[in-house]
Amino acid sequence: MDMLQGMSKRVQEEGEKEKDLYEKFMCYCKTGGSDLTSSISAAEDKLGSLASDIENAEAKHSAASAALKKAQEDRAAGEKAMAEATAIRKKEAGIYAQFKADSEANLAALAKAITSIENGMSGGFLQTGAANVLRKLLAKSQQIMDEDRRTLSAFLEGGTGYAPQSQQIVGILKTMHDEMSAAYAEATATENDAIQAYKELMAARLKEKAALTAAIEAKLTKIGELGVSIAEMKNDAGDTAEALAADQKFLAELEKGCATKTGEWEARSKTRANELVALADTIKILNDDDALELFKKTLPSASSSFMQVSLSTNAQRQKALLALRKATVLPKDRTGLDLISLALHGKKIGFDKVIKMIDDMVVNLKKEQIDDNDKKAYCAEQLDSSDDTKKSLEREIGNLEASIATGNEAIATLTEEIAALSAGISALDKSVAEATANRQAEHGEFNELIASDSAAKEILGLAKNRLNKFYNPKLYKTTAAPAFADVSEHVQSMANPGLPPATWGAFAKQSEANGGVVQMVNLLIADLDKDMTEARADERDAQGDYEQLMADSAEKRTADSKSLSEKQAAKADTEAAVEGHDDNKASASKELAATNKYIGSLHAECDWLAKYFDVRQQARADEIDSLRNAKAALSGADYSLAQTKSSSFLSRA
């Protein structure tokens, strides 16, 4: 600066105004206005096109959002329908299980009653549990005719006034058995049809759910892409609108400046005065507050000490970004004997009647032994069969419990994996949005840097050219800025027409001291060129990294979305299987409870007989021997020959 001031001092005495080159300046006004008008028209056309594109994209975004909502509602409705169908199927299965248990118990009781009556063992049958089942069935059945009900009721009550009519009773029981068997078969067929229909419904619903899930993922991806596209177009529209406003302002100021410039530029008096003005203008350009502030932001080199400014904050930021970019980042009785005794005590009753009573009693005793034998065999068979059934049901329940536990573990694992995938997709979407916002911000900073550095470079070129006009005429270019303020206000213009032409000409060199100053200006311009070159390289690298990130993110989101859909389908299948195991376990548990109850009733019915069977058999044999001896005595026979025990007969009976 001292050099310029010295030069100004040396030429202060020789300054002289020269003639104004008004025609050149007015030519500049005409050319610059035309360029700005074309730029404004192009920007307005672009804004109209962007508005139409944004409107179309937003319409597609709204349509995709509506379709997404509809698909989500359809999937929720399908899941609700599946839950309702499962609840209905579970209720129907419970009703059928109860009907099955009742029907099987009733049919078994009817079969046993028919067999007992046909075999002439109706008396023994009336003391069995099956008879109790028939009594309950008779009380509840609404399909038996009154006459048959009375006959069967009298039979089951075993009243002394009842005259056995075996064939009629057997007929009634067989009719009941046939009707109940038909009802049981019909209910079973209906249950099987319901199970098949439920399975087909679940399969169709699961397929529909998978298709809806895939559609939802596709729509989410499309919505995301449209959102990014809309944001980019809006940003572009914003930048274009700003540039348009800048051009319009620039054009208005240019027109105003050109309209008033005629009276500002007149002939300069003398060559030395022109040289003095040139030096003064140069000093003014470099010392202007706006220029100094711009130099602080743009000049990265230590050579800026020429202007007594510190290293620019933007350059420091760029160096920090470069250093960061180079870093690597890692990622479950009987009274018979008494009667005979009483008869024998009577004086009026003949022996024939007593003997007949004895014979009848022997027959009854033999029949009772036969009943005990049959009952013992029946009990053994039923207990063995029921125990096998119990063990089989217990094994089945154990296996079902293990399957349920395994299924629940799988459901828990799938739930955690689904939650993790959902969270990962959300985090990925957030990261993509943040990366897009950061990229836009970085791009804006890059544009600002280039514009600022370009403006500073133009100012330095202006200063250099202004000096050359007087000291190096051959290097002088006939373009110069009327004032720094006019240039700095239009840095963001899309079609800057260039610097207005100077309106004075060179006359003669008066000093060679300008060489050092020009050299320093050249150094500053070189620093600005280097800064812009580095900024453009960083911008290319950042844009490439961003595009790669977008591609990798889209690929990962597609893979994660597919995995999420597969795990949701697997979870639904596992939940359906667990529900099936729960239903089967409940049915098996009810059947086990019924089996345990039946085993309990068998023990109540059979344990006493098993414990006293031998005692009862021996007692009957002894009683028969006694009766035979009594009969022999009544007949006048020598009954010493009748001492043979009857146990062998009873054993064979």
Question: Which of 157-171, 427-441, 571-585, 621-635 has the least mean pLDDT?
Answer: 157-171
**Inter-residue contact 410 to 574 (CB < 8 Å):** yes
- Is 60 exceeded by the pLDDT of residue 467? yes
Question: Which of 242-246, 340-344, 447-451 has the least mean pLDDT?
Answer: 340-344
Cα separation, 506 vs 473, whole angstroms: 7
Dump the DSSP string for 143-180.
SS-HHHHHHHHHHHHT-TT----HHHHHHHHHHHHHHH
Cα separation, 564 vs 128, whole angstroms: 62
Sequence length of the chain is: 653
Structure tokens at 472: 């190096």
CA distances from 592 to 332, 370, 401, 597 (A): 11, 33, 15, 8
State the pLDDT at residue 237.
86
Question: Which of 124-138, 373-387, 503-517 has the least mean pLDDT?
Answer: 503-517
In this structure, how many other beta carbons lie within 10 angstroms of the beta carbon of residue 107?
Answer: 16
Cα separation, 466 vs 644, whole angstroms: 158
Pick from 499, 488, 415, 409: nearest CA to 462: 499
The torsion defined by the Cα of 563, 567, 569 and 573, in degrees rounded to 10, comes to 150
Structure tokens at 576: 């359906």
The helix/strand/coil state of 15 is strand
**Inter-residue contact 351 to 334 (CB < 8 Å):** no
State the pLDDT at residue 190.
92
Pick from 252, 236, 297, 310: nearest CA to 489: 252
In this structure, how many other beta carbons lie within 10 angstroms of the beta carbon of residue 124?
Answer: 19
- φ and ψ of 515, to 5 deg: -55, -45
Cα separation, 643 vs 14, whole angstroms: 177
Q: Which residues contact 585 (CB under 8 A, 6 or more apart)?
A: 397, 400, 401, 404
Cα separation, 622 vs 645, whole angstroms: 7
State the pLDDT at residue 326.
42
pTM, two decimals, is: 0.36
Per-residue confidence band for 412, with pLDDT thresholds at 50, 70 and 90: very high
pLDDT, tens only, 297-309: 666 554 444 444 4
Q: Which of 224-228, 534-538, 642-646 has the highest mean pLDDT?
A: 534-538
Cα separation, 613 vs 616, whole angstroms: 5
